[in-house]
């Protein structure tokens, strides 16, 4: 019994970032990396299933598509208790869009043959909300998106997923397994890695593959296997609040007068 958890190293931007010369991305020097927020929840759900079904012997495998720097995020997952970590990369993957990434993950999934795949609903940097479900499509597996509650016993033939809808509503669906589920924030409370876990993770191996190793043909790798291309990135003109300056007391006084104005008291 195996659960594959796909993760992403996301980038946020340093202040005063600059665009790359070709105008198609931000200069990499200004990237600040982290593990995607959603992935903490996806991993936690896999860990809960592992711990809840000790007899079944659940193996939790985390995988990512990314350059060397992404090892750091895989180690965070190992530190939390993942059994194995896999990273796939080649320079051809530069410029891959979510579907280009999903093609590589699909090849890995065919090799690993997990019983269940968890992904985050979206990534906190570009928020496509596409990779996990594209993976489901490429594998032709049953799937459900935005799962905020899961009832599943490892090995069973179906899972009950509570999908979070707009406006505070939910829909419960029964999904055949193996399935790809994208998991939503709040589905559980992610654990923190223990110091001991962090120490051990530093020396654990990370398995690395190229897309070619996994049998992804060159004409499906990276930009060639993508369904979109970034033509240009630019900093939009955005609105800017009228800033209330001064000491906290002065700022609060102005805020108070705005409130009183609204309440018709001033």
Partner 1 sequence: MRGILVLVEHRQGQLRPVSLEVLGAAVQAKEASGERLTAAVLGASPGTFTEALQLAGVDEIVTVQTASDAFDPDTYEAVARALIQDRAPSLVLLPHTIDTLGYAAPLAAKGNHGFTTDAFGLSRDGDAWLATRSGYGQKVNMEIEFPGRATVVVTLRPGSFKAPEAGGTAALTSFAAPPVTERSTHIEFEEPAASGDVDIPGADFILSVGRGIGEETHVEQFKELADAVGATLGCSRPIADSGWLPKAHQVGQSGKTAANCKVYIAMGISGSVQHMAGMKHVENIIAVNTDPEASIFTIAKYGIVGDIFEIGEELRNHF
155: nearest Cα among 58, 237, 18: 58
Beta carbon of residue 200, minimum distance to partner 1 (angstroms, whole number): 29
Question: How many beta carbons lie within 10 A of that of residue 94, not counting itself?
Answer: 11
- In eight-state DSSP terms, residue 235 is P
Q: Running DSSP on this structure, what letter comes out for residue 220?
A: G
List the one residue from 174, 199, 215, 218 that touches partner 1 (CB under 8 A): 174
Q: Which is nearer to partner 1, 153 or 176 (CB)?
A: 176
Could you say which residues in the range 103-122 bind partner 1, by CB under 8 A? 103, 121
192 touches partner 1 by CB under 8 A: no
Distance in Å, CB of 19 to partner 1, minimum: 8
Three-state secondary-structure class, residue 36: coil
Cα 85 from Cα 6, distance rounded (Å): 10
By CB under 8 A, name the one of 33, 125, 191, 200 that touches partner 1: 125
Assess 176 for contact with partner 1 (CB under 8 A).
yes
Quote the distance between the C-alpha of residue 116 and its chain's center.
Answer: 16
> Taking the complex as a whole, how short is the minimal distance between the CB of residue 135 and partner 1, in angstroms?
8
157 interacts with partner 1 by CB under 8 A? no
Q: State yes or no: residue 263 binds partner 1 (CB under 8 A).
A: yes
Distance, in Å, from the CA atom of 15 to the CA atom of 93, rounded to the nearest integer, reads: 27
Helix axes 37-52, 71-79, angle to 10 degrees: 40
**146 in contact with partner 1 (CB under 8 A):** yes
**Residue in 34, 53, 95, 142 binding partner 1, rule: CB under 8 A:** 142
SS3 49: helix
Q: Least distance in Å: CB of 55 to partner 1? A: 28
Q: Taking CB under 8 A as the criterion, which residues in 235-254 touch partner 1?
A: 235-236, 238-244, 248-249, 251-253
Angle between helical axes of 131-139 and 98-112 (0-180°, round to 10): 50
Shortest distance in whole angstroms from residue 78 CB to partner 1: 25
- Please tell me whether residue 52 binds partner 1 under the rule CB under 8 A: no
């Amino acid at each position: 019994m195996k659960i594959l958890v796909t993760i992403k190293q996301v980038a946020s931007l340093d202040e005063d970032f600059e665009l790359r010369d070709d105008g198609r991305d931000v200069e990499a020097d200004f990237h600040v990396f982290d593990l995607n927020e959603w992935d903490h929840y996806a991993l936690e759900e896999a860990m809960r299933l592992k711990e809840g079904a000790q007899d079944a012997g659940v193996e939790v495998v985390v995988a990512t598509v990314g350059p060397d720097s992404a090892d750091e995020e895989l180690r965070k997952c190992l530190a939390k208790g993942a059994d194995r970590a896999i990273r796939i990369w080649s320079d051809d993957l530069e410029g891959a869009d979510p579907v280009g990434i999903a093609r590589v993950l699909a090849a890995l999934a065919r090799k690993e043959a997990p019983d269940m795949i968890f992904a985050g609903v979206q990534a906190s940097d570009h928020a496509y909300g596409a990779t996990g479900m594209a993976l489901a499509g490429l594998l032709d597996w049953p799937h459900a998106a935005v799962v905020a509650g899961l009832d599943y016993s490892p090995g069973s033939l179906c899972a009950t997923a509570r999908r979070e809808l707009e406006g505070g509503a939910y829909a419960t669906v029964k999904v055949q397994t193996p399935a790809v589920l994208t998991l939503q924030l709040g589905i559980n409370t992610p654990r923190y890695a223990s110091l001991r876990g962090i120490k051990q993770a530093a020396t654990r191996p990370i398995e690395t593959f190229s897309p070619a190793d996994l049998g992804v043909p060159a004409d499906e790798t990276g930009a060639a296997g993508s369904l979109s291309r970034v033509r240009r990135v630019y900093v939009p003109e955005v609105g800017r609040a009228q800033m209330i300056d001064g000491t906290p007391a002065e700022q609060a006084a102005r805020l108070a007068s705005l409130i009183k104005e609204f309440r018709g008291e001033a």
